[in-house]
Every structure is written in structure tokens, then in C-alpha cells.
Amino acid sequence: MLAISASLAAAILAFLPSASAQSAVWGQCGGQGWTGPLTCVAGSTCTFSNTFYSQCLPDGTVTTTTSVVGAALPTGTSTAKSNTVAKSLGGKLYFGSATDNPELTDTTYKAKLGDNTLFGQITPGNSMKWDATEPQQGVFTFTNGDVIANLSKTNGQLLRGHNCVWYNQLPSWVSSGGFSAAQLTSILQNHTMNVVKHYAGQELHIDAADEDAWDVVNEPFNDDGTVRQFVFSEALNLSYVTTALVAARAADPKAKLYINEYNIDSAGAKSTSMMNLVSSLKAAGTPIDGIGIQGHLIVGQVPSKAALIANYQAFTALGVEIAITELDIRMTLPETPALRAQQQADYTTVISACKAVAGCVGVTIWDYTDKYSWIPGVFSGQGAALPWDDNLAIKPAYDGIIAGFTN
């Protein structure tokens, strides 16, 4: 289990699914479009029937020549390529993935990540964050971030910088330094300028759309829409957001500058706060180009396509683009055919909502394989959130992504 701070724990709690009922014996427990329970009462087992229907069969009635659930896990079948389809049929700029330095020693993983028909964009999961890039005041280290920036160049992929300022993974010299508001402003300017400028020289601006981007500000709000309290907001309220955006624009006038947040997929207090912030930034002439919707979602609990579209449109109506920046759709383990089928439908819902909104420029999954997902280390007993399994084989979720971009 990873060590987590109290503030991170609070954020994690916000992700946890509420306890949901279980289906009765003979009841439905999965299938495309099914929004009810995905597990069965004790004494029965959720058994895959077809893509549209799974049922709680009493234990003992399930054919046991082999382990039915285990043996019947459906796999992905699509031969279409996710980035190719995102661009050609989805009308998007890319389909991408996060990655991280430790897993790049896995050559099979790295080869697939480098296939730009699958992934047209990559985001470093950790190596451009503050603790990685300025671990001591004024001492900048770009080694790991450069590895990923260079990968994007070698592979002809867009690069998403992540991130300049976040309450988490912030070194203690910043958070506990006892600095004044003026000093913190200067520290934030200096950090953002140095990091964004370093990668401005290394980015590959592939096409006229020039869509390399930075998550300049990460997770500024609590789930109830109030301003998340940490060293910068405590001293400066939301003016730290302006400070970071202005510095980032000066450092790289070409990059799209984003504010990135989770639990803003559909309407709610947090989405409203994000809209109010972006409106006020636009009104003040502060550089802001996009809202990043992280999209850490739960199988069977994804908002409807209509609700997603309405919220995406409310964001783009402010005059900014949006991107789905960290998509994954997790489940309570073990995987079952029903959960895989529901996850396939859930991926289609999110991707097709992005397709339906012109200002949604692309979709990034938060790594592509369950082998390297952050979920099991943080949400005990949960996982299998990504479209490629532990063996790097596609799951039905992949077919769901292709369907979302295609239909």
C-alpha cells in the first residue's frame, strides 16, 4: 500500500464508489446499458450470457466443467487502431496515453506505446511534476522528463506537460518553507517559467493545430466546489492560478495552457466552480486555452452521454477547448464478463461524448495497460481500469473506444 498524505486520502475518498445494492438470485447483473448492480447476493454468481445480459445464477447451477467466469472473460476483437480512428473517424487530434519512466524498461510495453497508430500523444505520469523537476529550490532536474519528451519526438507523438502546480507531489521546501505571499508568487513564477521553457525547446509541434499542451494548474478545487487549500491558495487564494498561467504563456507562447481537474465530467458544484474560474480568467485577459477533464471513472457509474455532452458544451461555450486527460474506468475485482461488457459500454459513452463536441480535442488514458495502472495501489481491491490487460492484450474496452470514435 502506498503511503498517502491526509489531503491525498481525502481526494481518494472522493473517488470511492458508494456502496451499491447487489442483484438477487436470477436478477440481472450486467450488460450493455444496464445501470443496476454488477454483483450478486451471496450464494449466486454473476454469469455472462451475452453482451447485453448477465444474470445471477444460484451457485451449483453454473456449469463447472471449467471456471465459467474465469474462462469466459471476453477479449477485444477490433483490428482498428485507436489513434488512427480518433483522427479519421472521430475528428479528434489524438488518442493518447500517460506513461512513466520505470515501465519504459519493459520493451514490449515501450514498443506498443511507441506505435503512433495506437497513441498519437503521451503524458508523463510523474516526471514533470514539481517534486521531480525542482526538488530543491532553484535546482532543476529534467532527466526523467526529457526521456519522455524525447520519446514523443522519436515516435511522432504530441506531448502533454503535466503539471506546473499541484497540491500533491509538492516538495516540502515549498509547502513548509514559511514563505510570504510575495515570495510564493516569485517561487511559482520561477518554477513554471523554468519547466515550461525547458520543454518549449523540446516539443514537437507536429501540425498546424500545434496542440502540444500543459496542465499548468492541477486540481484547484475540492469536490464541493470550494478552493482546495494548500500553500499557494492559502497565501494567494486563486490568484496563484493567474500567476502560473501568465508565466507559462511567457515561457512557451505556442503551448495550449490548461487547468486540469477530476470529478468535473458532468454538471455539479465542482464543474460550476471551474466554469466560474475560467470565465473570470477570460474576462481578465489571462491566458487560458483549455479545461482538462481527467475522467477517473467507475464501471457502471459513468454519467449518461447526454449529461457528459451538456457539461462539455458548457465548458467550450466559455471559449476554451477541452480534453479528456486521464481517462480510466475502474471496477471492483475480480473482473467478470459482465463487468468487462459494462466497461466496454462505459468507454463508448465517454469517447462518443467527446466525439460529439467539436471543442473536445482529444482523449488520453492514464496509462494504457492494467499492468501499470495507479488504481490497485491506491484503491484496494479495485483495478482493471484500462483497455489493455496485464499481458498487454486488448479487452472489450478497446472495442468500446473504437466504437465511440466510429459511430
Choice between 92 and 330, CB closer to ligand G3I: 330
CB of 328 to ligand G3I, least distance (A): 9
In this structure, are strands 256-261 and 296-298 parallel, antiparallel, or unpaired? unpaired
Choice between 326 and 389, CB closer to ligand G3I: 326
The C-alpha atoms of residue 356 and residue 336 are separated, in whole angstroms, by 30
Binding ligand G3I (rule: CB under 6 A), the pick from 1, 2, 19, 71 is: 2
Residue window 190-219: x/- pattern of binding to ligand G3I, with contact defined by CB under 6 A: ----------------------------x-
Give the CA count within 13 Å in the CB-facing half-sphere of 280: 9
Backbone angles phi, psi at 11, to 5 degrees: -65, -40
C-alpha distances out from residue 95 to 64, 66, 190, 326, 390, Å: 41, 38, 32, 11, 20
CB of 4 to ligand G3I, least distance (A): 7
Asked whether position 125 contacts ligand G3I by CB under 6 A, the answer is yes
173 touches 131 (CB < 8 A):
no
CB of 58 to ligand G3I, least distance (A): 39
| Total residues binding ligand G3I (CB under 6 A) | 10
**Residues between 241 and 300 with contacts to ligand G3I, criterion CB under 6 A:** 294
Choice between 260 and 311, CB closer to ligand G3I: 260
CB of 217 to ligand G3I, least distance (A): 12
Residue window 306-345: x/- pattern of binding to ligand G3I, with contact defined by CB under 6 A: --------------------x-------------------
Backbone angles phi, psi at 99, to 5 degrees: -150, 175
The C-alpha atoms of residue 157 and residue 387 are separated, in whole angstroms, by 20
Asked whether position 48 contacts ligand G3I by CB under 6 A, the answer is no
Assess whether 326 carries a catalytic annotation.
yes
The C-alpha atoms of residue 116 and residue 122 are separated, in whole angstroms, by 10
| 382, amino acid identity | Q
E-only strand ranges, 227-320: 256-261, 290-293, 296-298
- The C-alpha cell at 265 is 465530467
Q: Report the interhelical angle of 181-200 vs 143-155 (nearest 10°).
A: 40
The C-alpha atoms of residue 171 and residue 97 are separated, in whole angstroms, by 26
Binding ligand G3I (rule: CB under 6 A), the pick from 126, 242, 266, 344 is: 126
Choice between 132 and 281, CB closer to ligand G3I: 132
CB of 62 to ligand G3I, least distance (A): 37
Question: CB nearest ligand G3I: which residue?
Answer: 374
Q: Any idea how long the chain is?
A: 407
Choice between 29 and 165, CB closer to ligand G3I: 165
Choice between 81 and 256, CB closer to ligand G3I: 256
The C-alpha atoms of residue 23 and residue 257 are separated, in whole angstroms, by 45
Among 134, 211, 219, 326, the active-site one is: 326
C-alpha distances out from residue 404 to 293, 305, 350, 401, Å: 17, 11, 8, 5
Choice between 218 and 243, CB closer to ligand G3I: 218
* Secondary structure (3-state) at 187: helix
CB of 125 to ligand G3I, least distance (A): 4
Binding ligand G3I (rule: CB under 6 A), the pick from 49, 155, 168, 313 is: 168
Asked whether position 142 contacts ligand G3I by CB under 6 A, the answer is no
**Peptide bond connecting 102 to the previous residue in cis, omega within 30 degrees of 0:** no
Only one residue has cell 438477487, namely 24
Asked whether position 230 contacts ligand G3I by CB under 6 A, the answer is no
Binding ligand G3I (rule: CB under 6 A), the pick from 7, 78, 169, 190 is: 169
Asked whether position 109 contacts ligand G3I by CB under 6 A, the answer is no
3-state secondary structure 271-285: HHHHHHHHHHHHHCC
- Please identify every residue annotated as catalytic: 326
Binding site for ligand G3I (CB under 6 A): 2, 8, 125-126, 168-169, 218, 294, 326, 374
